[in-house]
Amino acid sequence: MIDLQTLLRITAIGLVTGFLAGVIWKGRGFGVAGDIIVGVFGAVVGAWLFSLLGLAAYGILGSMLMSLVGALVFLALVGVVVRRAC
């Protein structure tokens, strides 16, 4: 079970990294809910990618960097899927 402090930390990191990914990707964020969703999915994708590459993220800044990289990869994948669906 995830405690409240961990949930708040994940949400805060997701919000910040989702916003940063939105700014990098399209020049603005996706709104609070969208930023959190992109950031949390980014954290999952980033953790998976980092583990494949044998990398580790330590501390808040490491987690944010990993989440940002994952969020950008996630947005790229979503862009490819959406383009193919249209």
Which pLDDT score is estimated for 65?
A: 93
- Stated pTM of the model: 0.86
Determine the structural domain holding residue 59 and report its residue range.
4-85
Specify the number of domains making up the chain.
1
Which pLDDT score is estimated for 16?
A: 92
Which pLDDT score is estimated for 86?
A: 66
Among 79, 74, 60, 80, smallest CA distance to 21 is for 74
CA distance 36 to 85: 25
Who's near 51: CB < 8 A, 6+ residues apart? none
Per-residue pLDDT tens listing for the chain (86 residues)? 778 888 888 888 889 999 999 999 888 888 888 888 999 899 889 999 999 999 998 998 999 999 999 999 999 988 888 888 76
Which pLDDT score is estimated for 17?
A: 93
Question: Residue 40 corresponds to which amino acid?
Answer: V
